[in-house]
A and B are shown apart, each in its own frame.
Chain A
Amino acid sequence: QLQLQESGPGLVKPSETLSLTCTVSGGSVSSSSFYWGWIRQPPGKGLEWIGSIYYSVFYSGSPYSNPSLKSRVTVSVDTSKDQFSLKLSSVTAADTAVYFCARQRVYCSSTSCYGGDFDFWGQGTLVTVSS
Chain B
Amino acid sequence: SYELTQPPSVSVSPGQTARITCSGDALSKQFAYWYQQKPGQAPVLLISKDTERPSGIPERFSGSSSGTTVTLTISGVQAEDEADYYCQSADSSATHSYVFGTGTTVTV
Q: A110 interface residue, CB < 8 Å from B?
A: no
Q: Which residues of A contact B69 (CB under 8 A)?
A: none
Q: B45 interface residue, CB < 8 Å from A?
A: yes
Partner of B100, one of A49, A52, A116, A122: A49
Q: How many A-B pairs fall under 8 Å by CB?
A: 66
Which of A15-23, A24-32, A60-68, A82-90 is the contact stretch?
A60-68
Contact (Cβ within 8 A) A118 B1: no
Interface residues of A in 24-66 (CB under 8 A from B): 37, 39, 46-49, 52, 64, 66
Chain A contact-residue range equals: 20 to 34
**Which 9 interchain pairs have the tightest Cβ spacing?**
A64-B96, A121-B42, A117-B33, A47-B100, A46-B103, A49-B98, A117-B48, A119-B45, A117-B45
**A residues whose Cβ falls under 8 Å from a Cβ of B:** 37, 39, 46-49, 52, 64, 66-68, 100, 102, 104-105, 107, 114-119, 121-124
**B residues whose Cβ falls under 8 Å from a Cβ of A:** 1, 31, 33, 35, 37, 41-45, 48-49, 54, 86, 88, 90, 94-103
Q: Could you name 30 residue pairs across A and B whose Cβ atoms are closer than 8 Å?
A: A46-B101, A47-B35, A47-B103, A49-B97, A49-B98, A49-B99, A52-B96, A64-B95, A64-B97, A67-B1, A67-B97, A68-B1, A100-B42, A100-B43, A102-B42, A105-B48, A114-B96, A115-B96, A116-B48, A117-B33, A117-B48, A117-B88, A118-B33, A118-B35, A118-B43, A118-B88, A119-B45, A119-B48, A121-B43, A123-B41
